Amino acid sequence: MATSSAPTPVKLFIENFMLNKAQTLKPRLIELRRTIHRNPELGFDVFKTADLVARTLGELGVECQTGVGKTGVVGYIGDGDGPGPVVAIRADMDALPILEANEVEYKSQNPGKMHACGHDAHTTMLLGVATLLAKEKLPGQIRLIFQPSEEIADDEGISGAPRMIDDGAMKGVDAVIALHVDGSLDAGQISVDAGKVSGTVDTFRARIIGKGGHGAHPELANDPIWLTTQVLNAMYAVPSRRIDPFQPSVLSLGVVQGGAASNVIPHEIYVEGTLRSMDDTVREQLIGEVSHCLEIARALGGDYKLEIERGYPSMINDAGVVDTIQQAGIDLLGENGLGKSKRTLGAEDFAFMTRLVPGAMFSLGTKEPGGEPRYVHTPDWDIDEDALPVGTAMLAETALRLLKAK
């Protein structure tokens, strides 16, 4: 008699238990997400959001620590001092300086601030994990890291993840996971890949200095606008002519400022741009190439001042952690629940955590099936809230499997 490879009813019940349990939380998850969405906060100033997180954890009986990494919150489920492993789950809490265009009842109540990158959903789903696992007897500890300021750095150029690391949020952690919403992927799907999946990011700021003068007598000046055009031509050629074509790299100018009148040659021009790559060696090469390009100004009789602000490293998804996420995805969502993964030169400060311990971030689909994609960092960003229980279940199930595997 031929045997069937189809899962048994008992196996299906076990595999879908976590998802079914998360589905019962859907009304509460929607309520939390909309509350956070109405009250967006920027950077490290996430005081109300952090307070909501701490109060919710307290109501669940989950021990938590506040003021970690300035305004972060860390929750602890299980024993972190025993022989068992520690698995961390991270969610970011901050919003963006964007005026929301959506006309919905949960629209931002803080004009000029908006949860346009899904961090309201990330925070909500991690609170959902706390709800699912608060009473579980665990073979170790699950640590819930609610992080401020993923989008921007503080006055010292440091963002939320390294601030929380410095305050001990990752101490003793054996593995770490996170998710990010994806408005191009259907709700009910996830995607994940191993290796380098997001880019490094560094910012350069330069003043190209010439000699000002009257527009009618350029021969008596050293026009910094002309100097800048030579420098920018060289900069734009860097990715295609100076970097290995098999290595992804981007050099983009975002700011070019200078001058105040049509008949006045200014003294200097200010330029600012971003550097992106996947590889650490290419990252250093890009920084060096910016300096080389600016030397053109000196060769033409001008000068320059350069400042480099180092940002996030590339994010590396550990192959073993990715395997666990993928298998959890198949078991909870079926084979069709795994979508096509995409790499990006966008940056994510979760990379600081995956550089410390094995970890991975997966993408969670939030697009209404059959609907148009929505993209983060735009004023009409929104999600299909059917994704909230899916992300909650995926985080909880993956964390439990990592605990048992360690």
Is there a catalytic annotation at residue 76?
A: no
Q: Tokens standing for 188?
A: 């009910």
Please answer whether residues 337 and 192 qualify as being in contact, where contact means their C-beta atoms are separated by less than 8 angstroms.
Answer: no
Half-sphere exposure of 394 (CA within 13 A, CB side): 36
Q: Which of 329, 358, 337, 387 is nearest to 194 (CA)?
A: 358
Is there a catalytic annotation at residue 150?
A: no
Please answer whether residues 275 and 269 qualify as being in contact, where contact means their C-beta atoms are separated by less than 8 angstroms.
Answer: no
CB burial of residue 212 (10 Å; 0-12, 13-18, 19+): middle
Q: Tokens standing for 31?
A: 């309520």
Q: 197: which residues sit within 8 A by CB, 6+ positions away? A: 314, 315, 316, 317, 341, 343, 344, 361
Helices of type H across 134-250: 160-166, 224-241
Q: Which of 150, 268, 312, 368 is catalytic?
A: 312
Q: 241: which residues sit within 8 A by CB, 6+ positions away? A: none
Supply the DSSP symbol for 281. Answer: H
Q: Report CA-CA distances (Å) from 315 to 187, 355, 356, 385.
A: 24, 8, 11, 27
Strands, sheet with 303-310, edge to edge from the N-terminal-most edge strand: 249-257, 268-277, 200-209, 303-310
Half-sphere exposure of 224 (CA within 13 A, CB side): 25
DSSP-based three-state secondary structure for 395: helix
Q: State whether the Cα torsion 49-50-51-56 is positive or negative.
A: positive
Active-site positions?
A: 312, 385
